[in-house]
A and B are shown apart, each in its own frame.
Chain A
Amino acid sequence: MTTQMLTYLFVGASFVLYIGIAIWSRANSTKEFYVAGGGVHPVINGMATAADWMSAASFISMAGIISFMGRDGAVYLMGWTGGYVLLALLLAPYLRKFGRFTVPDFIGERYYSKAARIVAVVCLIFISFTYVAGQMRGVGIVFSRFLEVDVTTGVIIGMAVVFMYAVLGGMKGITYTQVAQYCVLIFAYMVPAVFISIMITDNPIPQLGFGSEVNDGSGLSVLEKLDTVLLDLGFTAYTQGSKSTIDLFAITAALMFGTAGLPHVLVRFFTVPKVSDARLSAGYALVFIAILYTTAPAVAAFARLNLVETVHNTSYEQRPEWFSNWEQTGLVGWQDKNADGIMQYSAGAQNEIKIDRDIMVLANPEIANLPGWVIALVAAGGVAAALSTAAGLLLVISSAISHDVLKQTLMPQITEKQELLYARIAAAVAVCIAGLFGIYPPAFVAQVVAFAFGLAAASLFPALLLGIFYKRMNKEGAIAGMLIGLIFTFTYIVYFKFVAPELNSGDNWLFGISPEGIGFVGMLLNIGSACAVSLITGPPPANVQDLVENIRIPAGVAREH
């Protein structure tokens, strides 16, 4: 069978599986639609959270980004995992005890205010749509590269599949499909990683191979060799960073606090049976995530080393097979600047090789000379990563609309059945908008990823944290804090990314902090202003203080009968 046919078979089979699960796990109540009935086992929820969290960017792009950033790539590795510690220690157990359906639900009740709820809904929708646009695009790209259908068709197929299980099954359908998607994506990521590790170091465990000697008899470790080779070509050494310490610090912090404030991740912890399960579940989620996140930097180093070794100073006629395969897609390219017929790779203007960062994962199976079924598996894994994240995001958007905007604010008289119908309609509309973003990507998609994390860190995270740990926090403080954090971060990013992109460099940044890391400053401003405003206004009402007391105690969780 050709690789092409295998790819159709694998991706097709995975779709049949997801849709089968969707039909089996249809949601019949709002509780099932919003939080899967609240009875999901912590390990299952951990796996679903991992799939929810690891997006097309984690699966396809992250190793490539690290590959070219070298040491500085650690901001993503630590930033996107460290947030789970904050989640497990500071937020998840208390939100589970609170036991409602959405993140704005908590903010609305805790701050006894419809205004606070609506501010939270606005933050949530902005964060989630930014994020989902990238996922649909990811689905389209995988389709176009592996199945040779055009991006639009790819996005429409992806939309149809997400529609099936998100609209029918709600959180319940999403949870069980995400478990399947996690299995597909982690297997698809690990198989090529293990083989490329064996190829370069003889060690089958990528995390260990990463520190081992290269098997070419040079006696150098992977990183020593990579440093030497890159320095020779005029790059900075792989193990030396180029970002300033304060910027590394701020970006890592913004990503960590942003992760802990992302609504589609938080809401997953509403689905476990009890408070202690929420803590455990965050631990399992991080284990499942860490498998990929500790492999990615190893893949990044192997791929970069392999790239230099096999491509640099090779005549174009003898280029490796993967290079010629991927040339057609435009992801790799060669321009013979000095007309010698030999490919030269270097840091300066004489560089002749164009490499897209996504190639590091996508071409891995071919680089490691793996059979066609592994390539097919990587395609199915990329689709799984994109679909699972898209579905989780679409669900929080639709529940914020049907539950927080309609049921809790605009039309409180609707029955549960009507609310469920509105939730399905909202999910359907959200799928279509996300699809449009995928087909006609706004030019700024790549630019605004910093938004999602920065805004989550600067708006939602402090409101949740203070709501749990600072009983005196009142609605005036929380609303002021969210607005100040949001406006500050939004303005800073828009200014440097869109208004004056020519000024976007270290000399002009506030304290030398890039727009990617400014969410951390926004968060500090939020907390500072919220506390100040709260202290000059009155304490929250007694019933709210009782609510805070109540959520701090694990015993007595509301449960299904």
Chain B
Amino acid sequence: MADQQHTDKGGNQTTDDRQDQPSVSQENLKGYWQANLSLLTKLLCVWFAVSFGCGILLADWLDQFSFFGFRLGFWFAQQGAIYMFVVLIFTYSWRMKIIERQFGVNDDEVTK
């Protein structure tokens, strides 16, 4: 696209492309995708650990600890896992914004 401009390092995007690929180098695309996958993997491990781990597999063992009047395993299964899910999504959102700006693939300029 003729009106495409390049990203400056500070992360201030000025690209104005529509359906087309933004003008980002192959290394940046690769780096961005690797960073995304590594973040995803870490967060999904936490997701698994708090729900299937603490809420189901380790729940009986965790029940020996008391937490705000709950047995800990029970609390994870009926309360804690849900709070952690919320935290995970916002963490992903926040970290991805940083990763995207770093590799110049963000969507900051797009407005409705």
Contact = CB atoms under 8 A, between A and B. Distances in A.
Contacts of A280: 90, 93
A78 B43 contact: no
B21 A77 contact: no
Interface residues on A, range: 35 or more
Contacts of A559: 18, 110-112
B100 A276 contact: yes
A502 interface: no
Contacts of B56: 74, 245, 248-249, 252
Contacts of B71: 223, 239
Nearest to B47: A85
A274 B107 CA distance: 7
Contacts of A212: 69
A77 B77 contact: yes
Most buried by A among B15, B51, B92, B96: B51
* Secondary structure dominating the interface of B: helix
B29 A549 contact: yes
Contacts of B11: none
B106 A554 contact: yes
A253 B100 CA distance: 30
A283 B110 contact: no
Interface residues on B, range: 35 or more
B60 to A, nearest CB: 9
A306 interface: no
B70 A211 contact: yes
Given A293-B82, A553-B105, A90 B22 contact: no
Contacts of B40: 89-90
Contact of B89 (A71, A282, A558): A282
Contacts of B29: 549, 553
B68 A74 contact: no
Contacts of A274: 107, 110
Given A276-B96, A556-B18, A556-B19, A71 B74 contact: yes
Contacts of B79: 207, 210, 294, 297
A84 B89 contact: yes
Interface in B1-54: 13, 15, 17-22, 24, 29, 32-33, 36, 40, 43-44, 47, 51-52
A558 B17 CA distance: 9
Most buried by A among B24, B90, B112: B112
Interface in B83-112: 83, 85-86, 88-90, 92-93, 96-97, 100, 104-107, 110-112
B76 to A, nearest CB: 9
B57 A249 contact: yes
Contacts of A23: none
A434 B47 CA distance: 36
Contacts of A73: 78
B15 A555 contact: yes
Contact of B93 (A74, A84, A207, A279): A279
Given A252-B56, A276-B93, A286-B85, A560 B107 contact: no
Contact of A208 (B13, B68, B97): B68
A81 B69 contact: no
B86 A556 contact: no
A557 B78 contact: no
A84 B105 contact: no
A317 B58 CA distance: 47
Contacts of A210: 70, 79
Contacts of B19: 556, 558
Nearest to B97: A276
Interface in A269-311: 273-276, 279-280, 282-283, 286-287, 290, 293-294, 297
Interface of B: 13, 15, 17-22, 24, 29, 32-33, 36, 40, 43-44, 47, 51-52, 55-57, 63, 67-71, 74-75, 77-79, 81-83, 85-86, 88-90, 92-93, 96-97, 100, 104-107, 110-112
14 contacts: A38-B112, A78-B55, A81-B85, A211-B67, A222-B69, A249-B57, A252-B55, A274-B110, A279-B96, A286-B85, A290-B85, A293-B82, A553-B24, A559-B111
